[in-house]
Amino acid sequence: MQSQMIKSMVGPAFAAILIMCLLPVVLETYTLTLLVVYGMLGLSLGLIWGYGGILCFGQAAFFGLGAYSYAIAAINIGESTVPVFIGILVPAVVAFLLGAMMFYGRLADVYMGVITLVFTLILFRFMNSTAGPDFVIGKARLGGFNGIPGYQTLNVPGFPDEYIYGDALYYLAFSLLIVIYLLLRWFLKTSFGRTAIAIRENEERVELMGYDVRIRKTLLFSLGGGIAGLAGVLYANWAEIVTPGLFSLGQSAEIIIWCIVGGLGMLVGPIFGGMLIGLMKFLLGQQSMIDNTLILGLVLVLFVLFLPKGVVPTVSKWLPTGRTKSRKRRRKSQGRSRKSEA
Amino acid sequence: MTLNRRDFMAGTAGLLTAACGAMIPGSALAIDKIKFGSILDTSGIFDAYGKPMDMAARLAIDEINEAGGLNGASIDVTAYDTQSNMALYTQFGQKLVRQDKVDVVHGGILSASREAIRQTMRKSKTLYFYNVLYEGGVCDRNIFITGVTPSQQVEVLVPHAIKKWGKKIYVLAADYNYGQITANWIKKYAADAGAEVIAVDFFPLDVADFGSTIAKIQTAKPDMIVSVLVGGAHLSFYRQWAAAGMNKKIPMASTTLGVGNEHKVLTADEGDGILVAYNYSPELKSPANTKFLQGWTKKFGDTSLIHEIAVSNYQGVHLWAEAVRRAGSTDRTKVTEALETGLSIKGPGGLVTIDPQTHHAILDVHVMEIKNQKMNVLESALQRPPLDTQSACDLKANPDDNTQYEIKA
Amino acid sequence: MDLAAVIFVETAYAIASLILVSMGLAVVFGMMRVINLAHGEFMMMGGYTTIVAVKAGINIYIAILIIAPFVVGIIGLVVERLVIRHLYGRLVDTMLATWGLSLFFVGIVTMIFGNTTTGISTPISGFQIGDYQINGYNFFIIVLVILLLIVMYALLKGTRLGLIARGTMQRSDIAAALGYDPERIYMLTFMAGSALSGLAGAVLAPLVGLVPTSGGAYIAKSFITVVAGGPSIITGLISSAASFGFINQVFTFGISPVVGEVALLVAAVILLRLMPQGITGRFFKGKL
């Protein structure tokens, strides 16, 4: 079982590394790094939504928390290794607490959506009103609407002057994405992962079988929060400034959009969705003929109408080799639409 | 593990950089063109600021090109729309300096967007102009800032208002750096004029309901309001203030109303009588402004889109162009040195001079009254230096400085 | 004493305006379980319609109460026919599509009207309570909201159309089996919901600085209000708007508008934690 598992991962791992090495030929790494960050953020929601059935309107909150925690810790500590872990841990713990509150309270469906949305809005409001000199954590001013610039960016552990930036940051981010992707593939094959999927399919049945659904959902949610936090840490290092916009409603909604555009119920879909939309915005910004908001809106509407299952499942259906897989996916996405009727 | 990844990364990075180097198409095609980079939000929630700024920059470039370019070379514009999204500033900022390899970058609207690209410009040694009214305090030899700062406005506006209306001031300010700093300057200049700020209320940028505030103000009974409110949601204040009939009872001055043409969203009845202080008004009667308005009409038609920071952007472009002419080259060091001679141009808003000490602008500030959606000039204070930034920043003594000082009034 | 009266009016206004901005969303969500993320943009278009109509010389009340709901209702109808109808039963896909539509409308309105459009003044002048001047238009909004709620209740409770609508809302399959075409009912519901959103935008137009991106400010608030209200449309809307509006104003007057907004959000979290199905999921069960 174990060795078979490893064998099944060698292929995707090689493909991913190949993609990582080939992409810089087409695009500059500063754009690619952001796309990778978006991919990771998409993946974090794709995991809890696509596999746990938890539709979170507030994934941006964990993304922003990761970025802010990193920035604040980096200003106070000055060396990046510990801040990176803080940037993952804080959102994971917050997600755990928020998740526990929701799942032990048996919140489901859109009610859960509202709680996560409200949570994000509270953070957004709070961060926006921290411009005054009283809002200080250690040496770090929170800065309100203008955000926090000028913190220590990622360095080689132990060497605060050896920065990891530019191309190196891209390779680091992409490698982390690959590692997370593979770990999640493995995770979904474990009994915990299988139960998570079972919960998505039918929560009651799983509960009647004697599993504690609440703690499982909470843990999965926390895992998603941690991954979003890591994406936030990488973002903070790429952008070199964090602003409350990271917590905005628009950012949250966008992550949901990535998942739908890419294809839900699979790990590659949301990654691809995030990268695709990120790339589209970048390309759109280079033209000034038509209002960009309008184009983006139109694209989304057409998407839902003509590619309702997302890009990745649709494309893999066209490819002859993907035939067997796509049948499995179709079943999953039907599961999704069945769920959404509830 | 880390070491392995590092080695691997270093290896691949080197390899791929080499591969990429061969792939990037030659960018040395246009030798006799000067490359001008512009980076602004021309769509999304900040487009009311960004669109006219973009138009103004294009107008300035056209004027320069029609007059034969700079030192015989014409200017080529590379402009990006950041869609009111901070991440895109970083992306396009990088693209401008790495791929497009522009000679100068003008742009950025919010302070956060400036900070998102300022270090990139500095590291890549690309000259950067930020042409927006802002909170002051940026001290960096690579950047030139041509917008008005709080002390320049408040120093002129507040004494004028006190003389006119009385000594009890109620301040309403947007809850971010610009609002906080401006509120401090209002306190200082009010005290200097023997007046008193009786209350300061801060509002996050998305507050749109001001009923309770209006009641609170009436309890305090001030002689006037000074508004430092910013953005679309805060516009509701002026409308609700007028709807309660308060605009006929307590007069108001503002350091922000009109920067993005907000006074044109208000009806004449709601906006009339509000005092503001800026560098520019379309009503200014000067040859430079007449020429500017004619040029705008010819290129775009509708002059009602013009606002304060569009003109700042226009003046910023012309300042840079003048410096390139003087320096005889677009080389960053030479252009910076030319600007540091205290170079000045006659812009639509009056004479604009670069202050060598801070790289900010010394400008004319006009106190204006809003009347029928127009800004009528009441009083002009000529050549006001950026006192706030000067108090903390001295690039002559400290050319390597790279901080944004928070200025205590 | 005067201040107490002012606070009372402001609180009533806060509740009324919450109901007003959430009503269109409540109808669409309550009846069809469709979350219309373009709700704010429908409001924004209602506002623009009013401005254009008033500037064309039409009486302001006609513009607000008739023209704006009509125009936005038609837009809603077109949107339903072109997009929404393909997506029934797919909650998440409708969200994505309506989010796309909201961006699209922002873009279109920006292209037509530009970023700055002069608003219209309120038709009712300020009002004196003792030492205080208060916005007279507030009373208009409060009265209008009460009337709207009564009409809505009467329509749903008293007419045959309302009966069919309620039936479809509860069991669309049974309604279909009885010969009522759910698709037709959904179409009319969406249109009515859009018209209500348009009306809300029109009513608020004289009080807010209207720009193409204004809609975004309303969506979160109305979404929270509607969901916290729970399954009953009218009772849910009234009870959640009353709780949130009250809490918001208490903290706004007591401390500051910022704290007021945050208090509203915190109240929403606590409320949903205690009542996971919304207020009417626990109390007033089976009411409209």
User: Which amino acid does the sequence have at C47?
Assistant: G
Task: Give B-chain residues touching A125 at CB under 8 angstroms.
Answer: 204, 206
User: Does the beta carbon of B275 lie under 8 angstroms from any beta carbon of chain C?
Assistant: no
SS3 C116: coil
Average pLDDT over residues C181-192: 88
Name the residue ranges covered by the structural domains of chain A.
2-283
Residue C138's alpha-carbon distances to B162, C14, C64, C135, C242, in angstroms, are: 33, 9, 15, 6, 16
Hey, are the CB atoms on A294 and C262 less than 8 Å from each other?
no
SS3 B103: coil
Could you check whether B33-148+283-364+384-404 and B151-278 share the same CATH topology? yes
* Mean pLDDT, contiguous 10-residue spans, chain A (342 residues): 75 87 87 94 94 88 96 93 96 95 82 86 86 86 87 89 89 95 92 89 89 92 96 94 88 86 88 92 82 83 83 78 44 40 33
Output the pLDDT for position B166: 93
**Nearest partner of B306 among B259, B271, B244, judged by Cα:** B259
Chain-centroid distance, C-alpha B391 = 20
Task: Give B-chain residues touching A243 at CB under 8 angstroms.
Answer: 86, 112
* CA angle B182–B185–B191, rounded 5-degree value: 145
The two three-digit tokens of residue A231, written as one number? 């994406």
**Nearest partner of A288 among B299, B58, B153, C140, judged by Cα:** B58
| Tens-place pLDDT, residues B126-167 | 999 999 999 899 999 999 999 999 999 999 999 999 999 999
Chains that touch C (3 or more CB pairs under 8 A): A, B
CATH C-level class of B33-148+283-364+384-404: alpha beta
Residue whose entry in the numeric block shows the structure tokens 């018209």? C195
Output the pLDDT for position B31: 56
Which residues 315-374 of B are in CB contact (within 8 Å) with A? none
| Tens-place pLDDT, residues C225-237 | 998 888 888 899 9
Name the closest residue on chain C to residue A121, using Cα atoms: C265
Alpha helix ranges (H) inside C83-158: 91-113, 137-158
Hey, are the CB atoms on C107 and A293 less than 8 Å from each other?
yes
On whether the CB atoms of residues C179 and C89 are closer than 8 A, the answer is no
On whether the CB atoms of residues A236 and A109 are closer than 8 A, the answer is no
Task: Give A-chain residues touching B10 at CB under 8 angstroms.
Answer: 168
Hey, are the CB atoms on C92 and A118 less than 8 Å from each other?
no
Task: Give C-chain residues touching A117 at CB under 8 angstroms.
Answer: 220, 223-224
Q: Which residues have CB under 8 Å from A53's CB, separation 6+?
A: A199, A200, A201, A203, A339
Distance (Å, whole) CA B121 – CA C134: 51
Distance from CA of B178 to the nearest CA of A (A): 9
Residue B383's alpha-carbon distances to A99, B160, B227, in angstroms, are: 59, 17, 24
Task: Give C-chain residues touching B209 at CB under 8 angstroms.
Answer: 14, 17, 257
Say yes or no to pLDDT of C133 above 50: yes
Can you tell me the ipTM of this complex? Answer: 0.85
Distance (Å, whole) CA B390 – CA B397: 12
Which residues is B40 bridged to in the sheet? B81
Size of interface B-C (CB pairs under 8 A): 130
User: Does the beta carbon of B282 lie under 8 angstroms from any beta carbon of chain C?
Assistant: no
Q: What is the mean pLDDT of chain A?
A: 86
Distance (Å, whole) CA A45 – CA A174: 18
SS3 B346: strand
Least confident range from B84-93, B298-307, C91-100, C241-250: namely C91-100
Residue whose entry in the numeric block shows the structure tokens 């995991």? A47
The DSSP symbol for B70 reads B
On whether the CB atoms of residues B168 and B198 are closer than 8 A, the answer is yes
* Mean pLDDT, contiguous 10-residue spans, chain B (409 residues): 45 44 40 89 88 95 94 93 89 91 94 90 94 93 95 94 95 89 92 93 85 89 94 88 91 93 90 94 93 95 92 96 94 95 94 96 95 93 94 93 84
Output the pLDDT for position C183: 84
| Tens-place pLDDT, residues B2-38 | 444 444 444 444 444 444 333 444 344 445 789 999 9
CATH 3.40.50.2300 fits B151-278, yes or no: yes
- Residue spans of beta strands (DSSP E) within chain C: 127-129, 132-134
Residue whose entry in the numeric block shows the structure tokens 């928390």? A65
User: Does the beta carbon of B192 lie under 8 angstroms from any beta carbon of chain C?
Assistant: no
User: Does the beta carbon of B265 lie under 8 angstroms from any beta carbon of chain C?
Assistant: yes
Task: Give C-chain residues touching A256 at CB under 8 angstroms.
Answer: 92, 95-96
Structure pTM?
Answer: 0.87
User: Does the beta carbon of C113 lie under 8 angstroms from any beta carbon of chain B?
Assistant: no
Query: How many C-alpha atoms does B59 have within 13 Å on its Cβ side?
Result: 27
Which stretch, A191-205, B184-198, C86-100, C274-288, has highest mean pLDDT?
Answer: B184-198
Share of chain A above pLDDT 90, in %: 36
Average pLDDT over residues C190-215: 92
Average pLDDT over residues C279-284: 80
Name the residue ranges covered by the structural domains of chain B.
33-148+283-364+384-404, 151-278
